[in-house]
């Protein structure tokens, strides 16, 4: 059974599955965040983007509003079936069929959910030239920001050094790492300044 179901996205707190409640389009959050990514990664209008773990496609929608060619992929049938209508044909359960790789693959709050063996298989597919991963960090089974301990589907709890080593083992060099990009996850930063890692990776 797909754990990323209606309960996970709409009633995550009360069902103890995640910290999502009534997961919906909130443009005043998603548009500035997409713009922050465009500026940080210098994503130009001619670049293509894959949002890996796109859920209902809100980041895909935001990028499309901002004139960027973006597609989404998610393993949740519930999320893809309930994708935002504006990006319905752009978000897929399988990887989007496309000749050549994407210029960017964005994976925000995703890699911590995927067993490392499957993540390794994903990297072997060479879907993108460059990867941008936002990952909650932790040590000894505890994430530094407590909210990240509420999601039962978080299976990788690692430090930034462990992630960087994992990426290197999969032929991805860490071009840039930081604990903060202003405009993404700002609310965590003051209390948990090392709660998340922002990795820019290149083959």
Residues at the interface with other proteins (CB under 8 A): 27-28, 31-32, 35-36, 39, 44-45, 65-67, 183
Please name the helix (run of DSSP H) or strand (run of DSSP E) that holds residue 169, with its range, or none.
helix 160-169
Q: Which two tokens stand for residue 170?
A: 């999969």
Q: Among residues 25 and 171, whose Cβ is nearest to other proteins?
A: 25
Burial status of residue 66 (CB atoms within 10 A of its CB: 0-12, 13-18, 19 or more): middle
Phi, psi of 78 (to 5 degrees): -60, -45
Smallest gap, in angstroms, from Cβ of residue 130 to other proteins?
A: 20
Q: How far is the CB of 45 from other proteins (least distance, A)?
A: 6
| DSSP codes of every residue in 122-160 | HHHT--EEEEEEEEE-EETTEESSGGGGS-TT------H
Cβ proximity to other proteins: between 67 and 187 the closer is 67
Minimum CB separation from other proteins for residue 87, in Å? 13
Q: Closest CB to other proteins among 37 and 119? A: 37
**Nearest CB to other proteins, comparing residues 6 and 47:** 47
Q: Report the distance separating Cα 114 and Cα 118, nearest Å.
A: 7
């Amino acid at each position: 059974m797909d754990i990323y179901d209606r309960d996970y996205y709409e009633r995550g707190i009360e069902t103890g599955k995640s910290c999502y409640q009534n997961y919906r389009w909130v443009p005043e959050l998603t548009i500035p965040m997409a713009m922050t990514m465009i500026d940080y990664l210098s994503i130009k209008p001619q670049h293509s983007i894959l949002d890996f773990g796109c859920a209902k496609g809100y980041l895909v929608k935001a990028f499309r509003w901002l004139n960027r060619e973006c597609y989404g992929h998610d393993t949740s049938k519930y999320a893809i079936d309930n994708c935002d209508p504006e990006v319905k044909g752009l978000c897929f359960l399988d990887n989007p069929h496309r000749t050549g790789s994407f210029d960017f693959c964005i994976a925000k709050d995703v890699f911590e959910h995927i067993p490392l063996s499957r993540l390794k298989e994903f990297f072997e597919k060479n879907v993108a030239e460059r990867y941008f991963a936002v990952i909650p960090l932790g040590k000894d089974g505890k994430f530094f920001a407590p909210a990240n301990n509420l999601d039962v589907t978080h299976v990788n709890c690692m430090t930034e050094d462990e992630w960087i080593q994992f990426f290197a083992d999969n032929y991805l060099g860490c071009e840039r790492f930081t604990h903060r990009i202003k405009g993404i996850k700002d609310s965590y930063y003051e209390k948990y300044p090392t709660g998340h890692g922002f990795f820019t990776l290149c083959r």
